[in-house]
Amino acid sequence: MVRRNQPSRRSHRCWVSDWRKRIDTIHLIPNAVSDFAAKNHERVTDYLSREEVKTLLCGSLKYSFHNRPRVRIVRGSMPEEPLVTVIIPTFNRSDVLRLAIQSVLWQTEQNFELLVIGDACTDDSEAVAGSFRDARIRWHNLAVNSGNQSGPINAGVAWARGRYIALLGHDDVWHPEHLRIMAKTIVSSGADFVSSLIEMIGPAGTNYRVITGIYPNGVYDPNRGLPPSGLIYKRDVPERIGEWKHYRTVWQLPEAEFAQRAHAAGLRFVSTGALTVFKFNSAFRKNSYVEKSCHEQAAYIKAIEKRRWFMLQEALSIAWVHLRRLPMYVPVFAPPPAPRTPGWSVTQYRKMRGLE
């Protein structure tokens, strides 16, 4: 007998089944790893600890009480020195660029300028950037392609007017609270660099859901990667340690070399401890610059817009993978001909993307 006003076990099971079906449309509950992934990928074991999963779940709850995001367009003039200069380096991916710009414009922190820097783009990226008609957006297209985000980022820093530099990959998505939390942390802490937590999301079938930006014991480890989309730093940092280096001159990824150089120079790193970036690594998606698919980013944009409990659902999805130790896979890349071969990693990524 079922008590009045209490759901039956059958109705509870139906609700759970319906919830799983709805959120699985954007891969929030990981599917089984496909044979393709097992044959062409290698397994990684960057699992969170139980305590880290618990912290992630607890931190996700606060977002459920925030207002739903709203894109804000500024038509008039803007301050000569905004708080933050956001730089989006891009090359011929106007499909995802539109979504990245949207995730900047819906930030709750609105004191920014947005520089969209094309790496000698030949598609309609300029038109996409201009279509928002926001006075804070400036488009620049480099005359010569540099083949990596280092060139556009260095150019963007040279044109920047903000006190701080925040970076966003053209195929990544920011949560609406990202810039507010980042700016608040770097101002209050006085740190040179601040990083957020970033969810690295692999293609469907790989189960790849790795969280970066966690500092063990609260101390930044320079051997751990910090994806640029989760970084903000003081504008004068390049004056103190130098610009981003061209990928053909360093054996590490340029972003890793830049962060390691800053750490070696004694610059201070702080983490927000908040998951506010969703990264869709194009180097994990074969021919991503040829096929130019944006369905994953569009699904996350829609989910953040429409679902109040999205962040909790996403944290549960991550917990599902990490607590059960489900296999996570990444593509296998050819090893370098010699240790520390300059430019090797970026060259392999460019081949995976269909750029070479």
pLDDT in tens, 331-350: 999 999 999 999 999 999 99
Over range 46-50, report the average pLDDT. 96
Residue 248: alpha-carbon gap to chain centroid:
24
Beta strand extents in the chain (DSSP E only): 41-44, 84-90, 112-118, 137-141, 164-167, 173-174, 193-201, 209-212, 231-234, 269-279, 328-331
d(CA 201, CA 76): 37
Determine the pLDDT at residue 24. 46
SS3 307: coil
Determine the pLDDT at residue 314. 97
Over range 245-269, report the average pLDDT. 97
Say whether pLDDT at 5 is over 50: no
Contacting residues for 138 by C-beta, under 8 A, at least 6 apart: 113, 114, 115, 116, 159
pLDDT category at 263 given cuts 50, 70, 90 is very high
Q: Which CATH class is domain 69-308?
A: alpha beta
Q: Which residues pair with 355 in a beta bridge?
A: none
d(CA 347, CA 327): 27
Q: Among 274, 300, 301, which residue's Cα sits nearest to residue 70?
A: 301
Place of tokens 């944290």: 315
Over range 4-26, report the average pLDDT. 43
Say whether pLDDT at 25 is over 60: no
Of 37-41, 156-160, 178-182, which range is least confident?
A: 37-41
pLDDT category at 22 given cuts 50, 70, 90 is very low
Say whether pLDDT at 173 is over 90: yes
Determine the pLDDT at residue 21. 47
Q: Among 164, 180, 173, which residue's Cα sits nearest to residue 108?
A: 180
- Rounded to 10°, the helix 310-323/50-61 angle is 170
Over range 273-281, report the average pLDDT. 98
Q: Among 215, 209, 210, which residue's Cα sits nearest to residue 195?
A: 215
On the 0-12 / 13-18 / 19+ scale of CB atoms within 10 A, 281 is buried
Of 42-56, 64-78, 329-343, which range is least confident?
A: 64-78
Q: Among 258, 278, 315, which residue's Cα sits nearest to residue 196?
A: 278
Say whether pLDDT at 79 is over 50: yes
pLDDT category at 95 given cuts 50, 70, 90 is very high
Contacting residues for 154 by C-beta, under 8 A, at least 6 apart: 238, 243, 244
d(CA 171, CA 278): 9
The domain ranges of the chain are: 69-308
Over range 12-37, report the average pLDDT. 46
Q: Work out the mean pLDDT of the chain and round it to a whole number.
A: 91
Buried b (16+ CB within 10 A) or exposed e, 13-42: eeeeeeeeeebeebbbebeebbeebeeebe
The amino acid present at 278, given as its one-letter code, is F
**pTM of the entire structure?**
0.91
Determine the pLDDT at residue 33. 54
